[in-house]
C-alpha cells in the first residue's frame, strides 16, 4: 500500500489544477463565444443548448504543470528528459490546433495538420515502438533499421524506420479513436481516467515495474477526473478538438513508454477502436464517402441511445466494458491477452448485431404506429 501513496499527491494536485483550469477555460470560452452550437451539426449533435468548448486545454495544462513539478521523478532511467519535453511540445501543439478548430471550425485537411505535427515531435524526441511482445513468446523488434539523422550537442538522433512508422500510425489511430468517440458527455474523459488507472496498476506490477510510467498515468488520471466533474452528463463544458485528440494521444504514449504495452491499450480502447474501424469501412465501401469529411449518429454510443439507453446509462455501460476488458491486462499475460482480444472482438460483433436488430424493430414499430394514426 505504501508504494501507492507516493503517487497520491501528484494525482490530487493534477485533479485540483484541472478543476481550477476548467473553471477558467469555461469563462474564456463563453467570453469569446467558443461554444458548440447544436444547430451547427444536427446530424450528430444531441445537446440542445450551446456548450463551451476548449475543455481539453484544462487537462493539458494540468498535466503539463504537474509533470514539470515532478519531472525529477519522471524523467529518470528509461524515460529520458527529451521524451518528456517532446510530450510537452506535442501537447502544446494539440492545444493550439484545438483552439483554432474550436474557434474557426477548420476543415479536416487543416485539422489533421496539428495531430501529425504532435506525433512527429514525439518521434523526433526519440519516442518509438522499439518492439512488440509476441503473444506466442519472445518479442518482435522494430528498431533494427536505424539511420542517423543529426546530432544536437552530444545527443544523436536516428530514424528507425519501422519503429517510427508504427508509432506514427499507432498514435494517430489512438487520437482519432478518441476524437470519434467524443459524442456523449463524459465518455472520452471517463474512459481516459479508466485507462490511465489500469496503466498505473500495470506499471507498478512486478512484471513491468515502471514507476515513471505509473507517475505519468496517475497525473493523467487526476487531470481527466478533475475535468470529468464538469463534463459528465449534463455537461457544462466539452473537451473540444484538442482535448479529444490529447486523451488518445496520452493513452497511446503510455502504451509506448510502458515497454510496448500495445495489447494493454487495445484491450482498454478495444470497443472504440473496433467501432471506429467499422465506421471507416462502412463509409468508404458501403456509403462511398470520405470517413473524415462526414459525421453521423451511427457510432456505437449513439446506437445505445437509439435502443433505449439513457445518456448516462450508455456512458456507464461503455465504462463497464472498458473496465471489464481493460482489467484483463492486470491478470493475463502473453497468449491469454490475445484470447481476451479475440473475445473482445466477438463481443463487439454480437453487440453490434443486437443493437441493429433492436433498432430496426423499433423503426418498424414506429412506422406501424404512424400508419395506424393515419388510418
Find out whether 56 and 224 touch, Cβ atoms under 8 Å.
Answer: no
Instruction: Please report the sign of the dihedral spanned by the C-alpha atoms of residue 214, residue 215, residue 217, residue 222.
Output: positive
H or E segment at 280? helix 270-281
Least Cα distance to 256 among 352, 115, 73, 128 occurs for 128
What the block records as the C-alpha cell of 69 is: 513539478
HEC per residue, 92-112: HHHHHHHHHHHHHCCCHHHHC
Which pTM was predicted? 0.88
Decide if 228 contacts 14 (C-beta within 8 A): no
Q: List per-residue pLDDT tens for the chain, 375 residues long.
A: 557 788 999 999 999 999 999 999 999 999 999 998 876 555 566 666 889 999 999 999 999 999 999 999 998 888 888 899 999 999 999 999 999 999 999 888 899 999 999 999 999 888 887 767 666 666 666 666 666 666 666 666 666 777 888 889 999 999 999 998 888 999 999 999 999 999 999 888 887 889 999 999 999 999 999 999 999 999 999 999 999 999 999 999 998 887 657 777 888 888 888 788 777 777 777 666 666 666 666 677 778 888 888 999 999 999 998 898 888 877 777 677 777 778 878 887 788 788 778 877 877 666 666 655 555
Q: Taken in order 56, 57, 58, 59, is the CA torsion positive or negative?
A: positive
Torsion angle, alpha carbons of 293, 295, 298, 304, to 10:
140
What residue ranges do the domains of the chain occupy? 2-374
Amino acid at each position: 500500500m505504501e508504494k501507492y501513496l507516493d503517487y497520491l499527491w501528484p494525482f490530487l494536485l493534477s485533479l485540483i489544477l484541472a478543476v481550477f483550469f476548467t473553471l477558467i477555460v469555461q469563462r474564456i470560452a463563453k467570453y469569446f463565444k467558443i461554444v458548440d452550437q447544436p444547430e451547427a451539426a444536427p446530424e450528430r449533435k444531441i445537446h440542445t443548448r450551446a456548450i463551451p468548448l476548449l475543455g481539453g486545454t484544462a487537462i493539458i495544462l494540468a498535466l503539463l504543470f504537474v509533470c514539470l513539478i515532478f519531472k525529477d521523478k519522471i524523467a529518470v532511467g528509461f524515460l529520458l528528459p527529451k521524451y518528456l519535453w517532446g510530450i510537452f511540445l506535442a501537447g502544446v501543439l494539440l492545444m493550439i490546433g484545438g483552439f483554432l478548430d474550436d474557434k474557426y471550425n477548420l476543415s479536416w485537411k487543416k485539422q489533421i495538420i496539428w495531430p501529425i505535427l504532435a506525433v512527429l515531435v514525439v518521434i523526433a524526441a526519440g519516442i518509438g515502438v522499439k518492439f512488440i511482445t509476441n503473444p506466442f513468446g519472445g518479442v518482435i523488434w522494430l528498431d533494427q533499421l536505424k539511420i542517423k539523422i543529426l546530432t544536437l550537442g552530444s545527443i544523436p538522433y536516428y530514424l528507425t524506420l519501422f519503429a517510427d512508422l508504427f508509432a506514427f500510425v499507432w498514435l494517430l489511430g489512438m487520437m482519432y479513436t478518441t476524437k470519434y468517440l467524443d459524442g456523449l458527455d463524459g465518455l472520452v474523459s471517463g474512459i481516459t481516467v479508466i485507462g490511465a488507472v489500469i496503466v498505473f496498476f500495470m506499471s507498478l506490477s512486478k512484471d513491468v515495474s515502471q514507476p515513471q510510467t505509473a507517475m505519468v498515468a496517475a497525473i493523467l488520471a487526476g487531470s481527466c477526473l478533475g475535468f470529468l466533474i464538469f463534463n459528465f452528463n449534463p455537461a457544462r463544458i466539452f473537451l473540444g478538438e484538442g482535448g479529444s485528440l490529447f486523451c488518445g494521444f496520452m493513452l497511446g504514449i503510455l502504451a509506448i513508454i510502458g515497454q510496448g504495452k500495445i495489447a494493454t491499450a487495445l484491450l482498454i480502447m478495444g470497443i472504440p477502436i473496433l467501432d471506429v474501424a467499422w465506421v471507416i469501412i462502412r463509409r468508404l465501401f458501403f456509403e462511398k464517402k470520405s470517413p473524415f469529411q462526414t459525421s453521423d449518429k451511427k457510432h456505437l454510443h449513439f446506437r445505445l441511445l437509439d435502443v433505449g439507453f439513457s445518456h448516462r446509462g450508455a456512458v456507464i455501460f461503455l465504462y463497464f466494458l472498458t473496465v471489464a476488458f481493460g482489467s484483463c491486462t492486470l491478470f493475463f499475460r502473453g497468449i491469454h491477452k490475445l484470447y481476451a482480444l479475440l473475445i473482445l472482438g466477438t463481443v463487439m460483433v454480437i453487440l453490434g448485431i443486437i443493437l441493429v436488430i433492436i433498432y430496426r424493430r423499433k423503426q418498424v414499430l414506429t412506422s406501424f404506429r404512424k400508419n395506424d394514426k393515419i388510418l
